[in-house]
Amino acid sequence: MASITVRNLDENTKQALRERAAKNGRSMEEEARLLLGDTRDTPDSEYTSHTRILPRVQDEILDSTDLTDKRILLIIGGGIAAYKCLDLIRRLRERGAAIRPLMTKAAQEFVTPLSVSAIANDKVFSEIFDRDDEHDIGHIRLSREADLIVVAPATADLMAKMAQGHADNLASTVLMATDKPVLIAPAMNPQMWMHPATQRNIKTLDSDGIQFIGPNTGEMAESGEAGFGRMAEPMEIVSAIGHLLVPDSEPKPLFGKRAIVTSGPTHEPIDPVRYIANRSSGKQGHAIAEALGRAGAEVILVSGPVTIPDPKHPETIHVQTAREMQKAVETALPADIAVMVAAVADWRSVDEADEKMKKEDGKGPSSLKLTENPDILKTLGHHKKRPSLLIGFAAETENLEKHAQAKLKRKNADWIIANDVSPEGGVMGGEQNTVKLISKSGVEDWPQMNKTDVARRLVDEIIEHFSVETLEV
């Protein structure tokens, strides 16, 4: 079986693939497979085109979406996938949402109202007229008191009712009466999904402004049946809800990944008041830690002594020396990603004096005996818990590419970000940076950017690396 690596495609091809995938509402992987004629996991595009109204969210779990005080009316339809609603409710409640469950009669054949009510911490509504019940609040209030109505699973029958404007049970009546956005997660047998009647209903619902999440492809509960019709996974639905209710929440494509970043210089003491250091400000490393955190990664920033504030998202561990930095990094393992940005001092004084060293009249400076510091990047490169993506920096004043390539090998890193730090460039301590990304597959020249943009672009590359690293074709 052949394989292609999207990272290896040239920038223009990659961009074209990205745009095409976004336009068709597919992941880059799905798009590439379709282009290559591989439809193993990818449904017929005729039937997918209506369904990807929301962005595909598999790789963009908005896990940290705060749904505090959001009220969601969850209509549970009658299908096997109804069991997934228990997990969906739990995950929504964890994020602060209040769930009011409404079950159709058929749904109650698949999951009991008692379980739904216990997990949702609310009564289950199911009857259109429930006059005996003190909880009866009527279909109009039910539909208006929510911020969003979610139908999951949305069966073929429920979708047909919605498309034709029926109001013959509590679910369909609420859906007719609502003035709130509606998100549906269809789930049905692939033949039912592909039936012309369902396809007509999808078009109608689409033009009525109904939002869809899924369905996905895969095996069906019926043995031997597979195809397009599996309900989206609970976390995909959570993510779609996040898109609708918290529209400016950023996607979290690195959710679930752990990253370690080193930043700043190290200070290697000579005596209690003097130390060996360099001009690193920590701006680049801190910006990368922040950008990784914003993309959803769990980030441990190990920072040498800097004057800039700790970034907002990551946990920051403050250290002084290379040896302290190494210890903090190793303690933070395992990690999926490590970006070693710190300008670690290569040498330290062999004997740190306990008292301030005295200047003696008439005598020249006493010589300083140095010893080598541990190389943290190299240690990680050969570590038994080596992060799967290991990135180093190479600050050079001459022969940038050659030195960086050598460093890539020597330290067993995956990528090296090489930058020219000759004093005339003003990189050390400055706001701008001009870098090259060097990997085993080649060299990418990036234009001059400020350090925040370098961080964002690097994080985009990291996201791409993890989402579409290798496509088997």
Q: What value, to the nearest 5°, has the Cα angle with vertex 156 and ends 154 and 157?
A: 95
CB of 305 closer than 8 Å to CB of 317: no
Which residue's CB is nearer to ligand C5P, number 185 or number 376?
376
User: Cβ neighbours of residue 178 under 8 Å, at least 6 residues apart?
Assistant: 143, 144, 146, 149
Which residue's CB is nearer to ligand C5P, number 55 or number 374?
374
**Distance of alpha carbon 190 from the chain centroid:** 30
Give yes or no: 121 in active site. no
DSSP 265: B
**Chain position carrying tokens 């009510």:** 117
For the segment 226-285, give every residue that binds ligand C5P (CB under 6 A). Answer: 262
User: Cβ neighbours of residue 57 under 8 Å, at least 6 residues apart?
Assistant: 213, 236, 239, 240, 243, 251
Which residue's CB is nearer to ligand C5P, number 255 or number 393?
393
Q: How far is the CB of 362 from ligand C5P (least distance, A)?
A: 37
Q: How far apart are CA 152 and CA 72, in angstroms?
A: 12
User: Cβ neighbours of residue 12 under 8 Å, at least 6 residues apart?
Assistant: none
Q: How far is the CB of 411 from ligand C5P (least distance, A)?
A: 6
Q: How far apart are CA 229 and CA 238, in angstroms?
A: 19
Q: Which one is catalytic: 278, 399, 419, 433? A: 278
Q: How far is the CB of 243 from ligand C5P (least distance, A)?
A: 36
Which residue's CB is nearer to ligand C5P, number 75 or number 344?
344
DSSP 323: H
Total residues contacting ligand C5P (rule CB under 6 A)?
15
Which residue's CB is nearer to ligand C5P, number 230 or number 267?
267
- Strand order of the β-sheet with 442-445 is 315-318, 298-303, 258-263, 337-340, 389-396, 415-420, 435-439, 442-445
Stretch near ligand C5P under the rule CB under 6 A, chosen from 191-199, 213-221, 291-299, 334-342 = 334-342
Integer angstrom CA distances of residue 282 from 50, 287, 311, 413, 431: 48, 8, 11, 21, 11
214, amino acid identity: G
Tell me which residue of 330, 315, 318 sits closest to 265, measured CA to CA. 318
By CB under 6 A, residue 392 contacts ligand C5P: yes
For the segment 26-85, give every residue that binds ligand C5P (CB under 6 A). Answer: none
Task: Output b/e per residue, 436-450; b: 16+ Cβ within 10 A.
Answer: bbbbeeeebebeebe
Pick from 126, 189, 217, 373 the residue near ligand C5P by CB under 6 A.
373
- Tokens describing residue 20: 């095409």
Q: How far is the CB of 304 from ligand C5P (least distance, A)?
A: 10
Q: How far is the CB of 325 from ligand C5P (least distance, A)?
A: 8
Q: How far is the CB of 396 from ligand C5P (least distance, A)?
A: 7
Q: How far is the CB of 327 from ligand C5P (least distance, A)?
A: 13
Mark 393-432 with x for binding to ligand C5P (rule: CB under 6 A) and - for no binding: xx------------x-------------------------
Stretch near ligand C5P under the rule CB under 6 A, chosen from 107-115, 173-181, 372-380, 425-433 = 372-380
Pick from 202, 241, 342, 454 the residue near ligand C5P by CB under 6 A.
342
Q: How far is the CB of 438 from ligand C5P (least distance, A)?
A: 12
Pick from 57, 377, 400, 427 the residue near ligand C5P by CB under 6 A.
377
Stretch near ligand C5P under the rule CB under 6 A, chosen from 115-123, 134-142, 223-231, 342-350 = 342-350
Cis peptide before 55 (omega within 30 of 0): no
Which residue's CB is nearer to ligand C5P, number 159 or number 325?
325
Stretch near ligand C5P under the rule CB under 6 A, chosen from 13-21, 173-181, 223-231, 341-349 = 341-349
Q: How far apart are CA 177 and CA 226, in angstroms?
A: 36
Which residue's CB is nearer to ligand C5P, number 24 or number 349?
349
Task: Output b/e per residue, 114-141; b: 16+ Cβ within 10 A.
Answer: eebbebbebbbbbebeeeeeeebeebee
**Phi, psi dihedral angles at 408 (to 5 degrees):** -55, -45
Which residue's CB is nearer to ligand C5P, number 213 or number 341?
341
What is the contact surface with ligand C5P in residues (CB under 6 A)?
262, 322, 340-342, 344, 346, 373, 375-377, 392-394, 407
Q: Which residues are catalytic?
A: 278
